[in-house]
């Protein structure tokens, strides 16, 4: 099972999201092919209602602790409540790919 699949399974089991997209942007960095070390997650779930962005991110980080300790290097998160899904767009900064 790939890292992306493991992340999806964990988040679906723990948070039952109404929206979940997971993208691997490792190819933009100096990592081996299929490294799956740089991941972007856009997630909306009921558990985020009433929580600050910091609390939402901490919750996701706690669920993905093993992945973070096992090679997941960068995690970009957009954590939304279900009613905010249509109001937000995920934009991520472009990496220079290890160039200096």
Query: pLDDT tens-digit profile of 28-37?
Result: 556 655 666 6
Mean pLDDT in residue range 82-92: 68
State CA 82 to chain mean position distance: 16
| DSSP codes, the chain | --HHHHHHHHHHHHH--SEEEEEE-GGGSS--TT---EEEEEEE-GGGTT--HHHHHHHHHHHTHHHHHTT--EEEEEEE-GGGGGG-----PPP-TT--
pLDDT tens, position by position, 16-62? 999 999 988 765 556 655 666 678 999 999 999 999 999 999 999 99
pTM value?
A: 0.78
CA atoms lying within 13 Å on the CB side of residue 77: 18
pLDDT of 57 reads 96
pLDDT of 97 reads 56
Q: How confident is the model at residue 84 (pLDDT cuts 50, 70, 90)?
A: confident
In this structure, are residues 36 and 3 in contact, taking their beta carbons and an 8 Å threshold?
Answer: yes
CATH class of 3-86: alpha beta
């Amino acid at each position: 099972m790939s890292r992306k699949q493991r992340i999806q399974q964990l988040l679906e089991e723990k948070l039952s999201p109404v929206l979940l997209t997971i993208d691997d942007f490792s190819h933009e960095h100096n990592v081996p092919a299929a490294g799956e070390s740089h991941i972007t997650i856009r997630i909306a779930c009921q558990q985020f209602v009433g929580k600050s962005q910091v609390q939402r991110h901490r919750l996701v980080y706690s669920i993905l602790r093993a992945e973070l300790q096992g090679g997941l290097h960068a995690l970009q998160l957009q954590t939304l409540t279900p009613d905010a899904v249509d109001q937000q767009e995920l934009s991520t900064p472009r990496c220079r790919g290890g160039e200096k």
